[in-house]
Structure 1
Amino acid sequence: MLFENKTVIITGASRGIGKSIALKLAKEGANIVIAAKSVEEDPRLGGTIYQTANEVEANGGKALAVQCDIRNDDQIANLVQKTAERFGGIDVLINNASAINLSTAEKLEPKRFDLMYDINVRGTMLLSAACIPYLKKGSNAHIINLSPPIRDMKKWLKSHVAYTISKYNMTMIALGLSEELKPYKIAANSLWPKTTIATAAVNNLLGGEALMKMSRTPEIIADCIHYILQQPSETFTGQTLIDEDVLALAGITDLSHYAHVPGNTNFYPDIFV
């Protein structure tokens, strides 16, 4: 199996994109560390770290469920320590956990700004830093941040400046780490979908059922991660990737099976693309 004995930390893995990545890599024999806050199921969101862990084991992987709020320094340290104790190291970090609020600057509450900054920027940065000593000893080590390419800046800054700067910061972290960690052959890239992905955030916060019908399944991101992690970390680094482009590199051009509603061909473009 491609990722047998490879240890992968995935934040926000109790549901949605993070869970899909976990199950995809589990089928290839990976050790999956499910890092998220959810230990009791919220009916509006669905999923807990323990449910994902059970499915990872059923899919052939080894699972470790760790409750972790990446805003908390002690919980980050605990996550990394427990991962190292259980599996002996870390080969991959997927920074998937994120908070979203599309309010304008005038209408954004300070606590909502703090939430996005603390999760998207601070949490991504500090967890990445905590993993570096283990990634240096890892095999074909990768960091992947789920964040967008930095382009059309004025358009996206105008629309929702606080969310935009938080997501752009995640991408800048990936680009910065790609340069810092080149001597250690650790790759760092960002990945973003071209169309909306059918997740709880889309259903509950953004467009509801109408937008869900125009979305793709989280499996499209999982398949991209599957391809990226096969690439040599020494050279496949410092990129701001879009899912369709990654799949094209993998030779996958028929994307019809990723439609959330089978047969749909009318997809809604994600922001930042």
Structure 2
Amino acid sequence: MKTLEGKTAFITGASRGIGRAIAQRFAAEGANVVLCASRLGAHGDLQGTLEEAVDEINASGGKAAAEVCNLLDEAARADLIQRASQHFGPIDILVNNAATSVMNMPSLISTKHRNRMFDLNVNVPVELTQQALPGMRERGAGWVLNLSSATTDQPVVPYRDSREAALVIGAYGASKAALARYSEALAHELAPEKIYVNTLAPEAIVLTSGADYVRDIARKNPDMVEPVEMMAEAALALCSKSLVGLTAYSRQLVHMLGLEVMSLCGSEKIGDAFAAADVDATA
């Protein structure tokens, strides 16, 4: 039996990047996956759409459905888990991946933009967890994974290797730190009910189709980049095992648990790091 056979997972921010990779990996392990994004089609110049992500999983033999929702619309998200449950049944696994940042110095971020960031990065994951709890309790178990960031701590080497970038991500890191703290509290509250809450952050820059800006860094410093499959493998572990209240980093968790990093379809081992020669191959 596959690891997530019979389970239903709901993943936000799943049209591209880490969210899409997690959806693919979970589907390969037998989960029914409901992917959520703010629109079904293209979003500006960003690569990847919700429709494409769902079609790709279904074409490969998995089971996937799309749920469109503007998570910043409080009314639209009020019954989101109920709507998502109509596709394959109650949600066993909730992955809160959707997030936003404000590209400005902390001293220049307006209250409006700061509230928007904290709403999506903190309030939405907490609200969706609250919505999912009745179904998880009824089924006797559940998993909540909140995607975090290394910016919750001061990076040893700031992303993009500049003082400006470190200051910009500081405000984003504050919101992710708040989410991590709330996740720890939820974890200890809900663990007796076999509902496992954890947070997961990449240990390095995750090279996805939308991360073209890091390719030069990856060519010069491969150890500063990790494959998106690393995050997907770590997410799979946190959404299938009885782990409680971890604020985990992808590579550390994979090594600690002795896991093999597999392709998103689960068919082959890929290793846990990029070589410089691999960067252009992922373009």
Aligned residue for 1:194, secondary structure, equals coil
Aligned residues: 256
Letter in 1 for 2:216: A
Describe the superposition over 1:167-189 as per-residue Cα deviations: whole angstroms up to 9, x where unpaired: 11111121111022123110101
| Contact 2:147/2:201 (<8 A) preserved | yes
Superposition map of 1:1-273 within 5 A: 1-42=2-43, 44-138=45-139, 140-148=141-149, 151=153, 159-160=167-168, 161-199=170-208, 202-203=211-212, 207-211=213-217, 213=219, 214=222, 215-232=225-242, 236-252=243-259, 256=271, 258-259=273-274, 261-263=276-278
- Which residue in 2 is equivalent to 1:268? none
Letter in 2 for 1:243: S
| Contact 2:18/2:232 (<8 A) preserved | yes
Describe the superposition over 1:35-68 as per-residue Cα deviations: whole angstroms up to 9, x where unpaired: 1113221352122221111112123321120001
Over 3 Å counting, the alpha-carbon distance change for 1:163 and 1:85 in structure 2 is: same
Supply the distance in 2 between the matched residues of 1:260 and 1:127 (Cα, whole angstroms): 38
Aligned residue for 2:45, secondary structure, equals coil
Unpaired stretches in structure 2, ≥5 consecutive residues: 159-165, 262-269
Letter in 1 for 2:193: Y
Kindly, what percent of the aligned residue pairs are identical? 28
Letter in 1 for 2:96: N
Most deviating of 136-145 and 241-250: 136-145
Over 3 Å counting, the alpha-carbon distance change for 1:72 and 1:262 in structure 2 is: same
Letter in 1 for 2:230: I
Supply the distance in 2 between the matched residues of 1:241 and 1:218 (Cα, whole angstroms): 16
Describe the superposition over 1:123-173 as per-residue Cα deviations: whole angstroms up to 9, x where unpaired: 1121111111112224641111111475559x99x8344212111111112
Supply the distance in 2 between the matched residues of 1:244 and 1:193 (Cα, whole angstroms): 7
Over 3 Å counting, the alpha-carbon distance change for 1:6 and 1:139 in structure 2 is: farther
Per-residue deviation at 1:107? 2.5
Describe the superposition over 1:179-202 as per-residue Cα deviations: whole angstroms up to 9, x where unpaired: 221231101011111110124664
Unpaired stretches in structure 1, ≥5 consecutive residues: 265-273
Q: Normalising by structure 1, report the TM-score.
A: 0.83
Supply the distance in 1 between the matched residues of 2:146 and 2:186 (Cα, whole angstroms): 11
Most deviating of 111-120 and 253-262: 253-262
Over 3 Å counting, the alpha-carbon distance change for 1:135 and 1:103 in structure 2 is: same
Supply the distance in 2 between the matched residues of 1:124 and 1:58 (Cα, whole angstroms): 30
